Homo-oligomer: A and B are copies of this chain.
Amino acid sequence: MADKKMVEQITSMEEDFAQWYTDVVLKADLIGYTSVKGCMAIKPAGYAIWELIQKQLDERFKATGVQNVYMPVFIPESLLEKEKDHVEGFAPEVAWVTHGGLQPLQERLCVRPTSETLFCDFYKNDIQSYRDLPKVYNQWCNVVRWEKETRPFLRSREFLWQEGHTAHATAEEAEERTIQMLNVYADFAEQVLAIPVIKGRKTDKEKFAGAEATYTIEALMHDGKALQSGTSHNFGDGFAKAFGIQFTDRDNKLKYVHQTSWGVTTRLIGAIIMVHGDNSGLVMPPMVAPTQVVVIPIQQRKEGVLEKAYELKDRLSNFRVKVDDTDKSPGWKFAEAEMRGIPVRVEIGPKDLEAGKCVLARRDTGEKLECMLDELEEKVAELLETIQKDMLEKARRHRDAHTYVAKNMEELGNILNTTPGFVKAMWCGCQECEDRIKEQFAATSRCMPFEQEEISDVCVCCGQPAKKMVYWGKAY
């Protein structure tokens, strides 16, 4: 019975999803609280997920020609103020450095909430001719936004992310790069994180401060709330004009560059938890699981059991594999491996040894399979692939089952208040209607999806002719 203690301390997700989330984040040892309000410590089990995300995303970036750089963590106040919409969007939520050493600074510096202004200031000097274009730079770094309410991974005063910043000779090329990176994010979410996403464009109300267009990938969490999981912005030449980033083109004319930026954050770890997790804890997609396979010896004091467990571990060294040889009971070890979301558990005991077999248990379905020991490597490889695929399908089925259609405000309200999920509804395009929906139902427009449908001719709110189908939802 004591074996279950670890699990019993988790609130069930049906009872209180928010508390379940916090319990998982802490019990799976992903983060620790710190004395710095609103900032978390990312522990080894959490940071290892981020490293796997970084590595695989960075490879995808580089395959499209992205180069990594590093810009300062500080932005002088005068630089932040150069683009009007941008400063209005960010100034209320930045941290200000006013003293360096024992001296007050002549000009305040903010800790970067995002680095458009620094990249613009840099590009202004670095770009002279069409030969210097395109610039396709990215940085992996920390950023700070002075949020009032914080939650681990989802919203914190400091978080880790990557921010890509590009400069192009033409508007077409900038738009192409914006969409290209959105597609990189969408593929990564689906293929690596096993999270299906809706690709679309943000309304003007929801777009990034200073952007001409913001594109987004939106995912649906297990509780029916949406999570904006990555964004890609086309700035046109707005920042270029504010910062004076010009180049001499082939035709010898001086022109402004066109810019983009795009980013994903440690928030993706929150998405993994809330899309795949269950009442036993985390469920990690194999491709980002810090441990993919755990070998658990049963009756490990019996002759040959521990040795066999180590042997199996060695044979599985192509995977991220561990043996749990601690002196805890098997039941405790099972519960712990489940809490951490390890995709495959290999059980090996004295009887298995005799029979030349072992048991493989899937974390995602709980299913147990017998496996002949001489087929182990092959079966584990197959199983990890199957789990990765099945997790995406399961998440897709959940998302689709929680995607609704509303034709009028009554339907929209009913759905949003009783069966949370995505709601597809038509929109006339005016911000008044968008504001009204937000006000009445505490829901926001998630995006105007690339895949448009004609649900009806008229706006769900005002009944005027509809221009776009929009995904609405309550969001993190």
Question: A residues touching B (Cβ–Cβ < 8 Å)?
Answer: 32-36, 39-44, 47-48, 50-51, 67-76, 79, 92-102, 109, 111, 118, 121-122, 125-126, 137, 141-142, 144, 146, 157-158, 160
Q: How far does the Cβ of A159 sit from chain B's closest Cβ, in whole Å?
A: 10
> Which of A40, A75, A111, A160 has the most chain B CB atoms closer than 10 A to its own CB?
A111
Chain B residues closer than 8 Å to A39, beta-carbon distance = 72-74
Q: Which 5 A-B pairs have the closest CB atoms?
A: A39-B72, A44-B67, A96-B99, A100-B146, A42-B70
**Quick one: which of B32, B93, B94, B144 contacts A73, CB cutoff 8 A?**
B144
A238 to chain B, nearest CB (A): 20
Interface centre among A68, A101, A142 (most CB of B within 10 A): A101
Q: Are B111 and A73 in contact, with the CB atoms below 8 A? A: yes
- Which residues of B lie under 8 Å from residue A99 when comparing CB positions? 95-96, 98
Supply 20 further A-B pairs (C-beta < 8 A) apart from A97-B111, A142-B142.
A34-B72, A35-B79, A35-B121, A36-B75, A36-B76, A36-B118, A39-B73, A41-B118, A41-B122, A44-B67, A44-B137, A47-B67, A73-B111, A73-B158, A92-B102, A95-B100, A96-B97, A96-B100, A98-B98, A100-B146
CA distance A125 to B34 in the complex (A): 9
Selected A-B contacts with CB under 8 Å, 12 pairs: A34-B71, A35-B76, A35-B79, A39-B72, A41-B70, A42-B70, A47-B69, A95-B97, A95-B100, A97-B111, A98-B99, A141-B142
> Which residue in B33, B51, B69, B102 is a CB contact (below 8 Å) of A68?
B51
Q: A73-B142, A146-B101 are in contact. Are A68 and B96 (CB under 8 A)?
A: no
Which of B34, B67, B79, B93 makes the CB contact (< 8 A) with A121? B34
Docked pose: A396 CA to B96 CA in angstroms: 47
Q: A34 near B122 (CB under 8 angstroms)?
A: yes
Inter-chain contact B101/A92, CB cutoff 8 Å: yes
In the bound complex, CA of A68 to CA of B93 (Å): 29
A79-B111 Cα distance, complex, nearest whole Å:
20
